[in-house]
Chain A
Amino acid sequence: MKAPKSLTYLTYAAIIGFLVTLYMMFFYAPREVLMGEVQRIFYQHVAFGWWFSVAFAVTLLAGIMYLITRDLKWDRWAVAGAEVGIIFTLLNIASGSIWGKPAWNTWWTWDPRLTTATITLLLYIAYLMLRQSIESPTTRARFAAVYGIVSFISVPLTIFAIRIWRTIHPVVIGSGDPTAEGSFNMTQPMLITMLAHMALFGLIFAALLWHRYQLETEAAEVADLKTQLLLQS
């Protein structure tokens, strides 16, 4: 089975989009006065943070759709969302860490935002482990859908639970907590760069998601053909 044409176009668009974001990050966006060059990683950091939430929402919605329709196609979207989401969460945490070393003078703090991201990561790693340990595709899809619902609910719960403690993570959009360390005022080019990153990383996200779905579909087809072959011989 060949990948659909539109997926190929989307892939090229994502590659071009990524190059554009790299250019904007390094050359278009101005150098931040206080933090210097390291602030540039912020654009990717925010984009990863935004799209990993979307990825896990895909897992949730696809899981619910599977439970309603019982069409395994939705399960493939769910696993695609979880895997892309895990990669984006990892990159979000890593880029935040690289920024945190000079800004906060530590790679890691148990700040609420960082803790939430970590717990989210653990939840979806557990999701993949659950999938791996169930053989039957329909049982796997059903159970994974339920766990996808449970884990998606526990993300906002974690956010609420740790709001009991104060955050030092800067809030760039909207009025931030004045005690947050490392906040900065965005100039017009910075804002444009950030919005461009969020939009263009959407292309990368969509392309990865679709490729993963495509791969899963092909794997299911191969499994089907194998069974047919075994039945014939």
Chain B
Amino acid sequence: MNLRALFALVRKDLLHEYRSREIVIAMLVFAFLVMVIFNFALELNKTIRETVAVGVLWVTFVFAATLGLNRVFAAESDQTSLDGLLLAPIDRTIIFAAKFISTLIFVVLVQLIIVPLFSMFYSINLFDPLFLLTLFLGTVGYVIVGTLIAALALKSRSREILLPILLLPVSIPLMLAVVKAGKNILEGAEWALVRPGFSFVVAFDVIFIAVAIMTFDYLLED
């Protein structure tokens, strides 16, 4: 794999984001809004808050990440620079990997801010290393599928509407496992109870990395 090309592409995305501040700020504000809305929509009190916290956290990230994923290929398609990218003598998989890595960085940046805030507002301690690892692996899975489907939705007429409709059903199994595992971890359950969910998340990541590598070439053919 051509690491220099990968690095250059990621750097380009990060630089673009640094200058425009288009995606991360929007995701951040949106995530914060979802967090606030859930608090009132579910009429959370202390006990309910503890049982639904992991689920609410995940819904927050899923919605925020979907917002960001809508813009993953936006710069390329708006300025038609995707053609230029495709003309470059590099493997298509590298284009996918670069998009995946830069999107992952954006989402993780948002999480770095939202997780402490969430801990504070929902008065629940999320700083368990295993929980954070599960959170990260779940995010990896969601962003892989998300990047692949963002490329799928790119050519369609109603990209923004279609992306969540295509993406959410595919990621439901991931949500189920990651919420279950996360909840068990925070409740201090033993490893035997956490393991099924945790290994599922790892398996999901591996499977969809493979699927993405196998199918991404077909999406960028023209």
Q: Is A146 an interface residue (CB 8 A)?
A: yes
Interface digits, B165-183 against A, CB 8 Å rule (1 contact, 0 not)?
1101110111011001000
Given contacts A147-B152, A149-B211, A164-B196, contact A133 B172 (CB under 8 A): no
Contacts of B172 in A (CB 8 A): 119, 154, 158, 161
Contact B173 A157 (CB under 8 A): yes
Contact A130 B173 (CB under 8 A): no
Q: Is A129 an interface residue (CB 8 A)?
A: yes
Contact B177 A146 (CB under 8 A): no
Contact B221 A142 (CB under 8 A): yes
Q: Is A94 an interface residue (CB 8 A)?
A: no
Interface digits, A113-157 against B, CB 8 Å rule (1 contact, 0 not)?
000000100110010011001110001001101110111011001
Taking the nearest CB of chain A, how far is it from the CB of B77, in angstroms?
A: 14
Taking the nearest CB of chain A, how far is it from the CB of B109, in angstroms?
A: 27
Contact B218 A67 (CB under 8 A): yes
Give the interface SS of chain B, mostly helix, strand, loop or mixed. helix
Contact B197 A164 (CB under 8 A): yes
Contacts of B170 in A (CB 8 A): 123, 150-151, 154
Q: Is B32 an interface residue (CB 8 A)?
A: no
Contacts of B145 in A (CB 8 A): 150
Contact A150 B211 (CB under 8 A): yes
Q: Whole-angstrom distance between the alpha carbons of A151 and B145 in the complex? A: 11
Interface digits, B191-222 against A, CB 8 Å rule (1 contact, 0 not)?
00000110010001001100100010011011
Contact B158 A133 (CB under 8 A): yes
Contact A147 B166 (CB under 8 A): yes
Taking the nearest CB of chain A, how far is it from the CB of B178, in angstroms?
A: 9
Taking the nearest CB of chain A, how far is it from the CB of B159, in angstroms?
A: 8
Q: What is A's interface to B at a CB cutoff of 8 Å? A: 67, 119, 122-123, 126, 129-130, 133-135, 139, 142-143, 145-147, 149-151, 153-154, 157-158, 160-162, 164
24 contacts between A and B (CB under 8 A): A123-B169, A123-B170, A126-B169, A129-B162, A130-B156, A130-B162, A134-B155, A139-B155, A139-B222, A142-B218, A143-B156, A147-B152, A150-B145, A150-B170, A150-B211, A150-B215, A154-B169, A154-B170, A157-B204, A161-B173, A162-B173, A162-B176, A164-B176, A164-B196
Q: What is B's interface to A at a CB cutoff of 8 Å? A: 145, 148-149, 152-153, 155-158, 162, 165-166, 168-170, 172-174, 176-177, 180, 196-197, 200, 204, 207-208, 211, 215, 218-219, 221-222
Given A130-B156, A154-B173, A164-B197, 10 new contacts (CB under 8 A): A119-B169, A133-B156, A133-B157, A142-B218, A146-B148, A146-B152, A151-B170, A153-B211, A157-B204, A164-B176
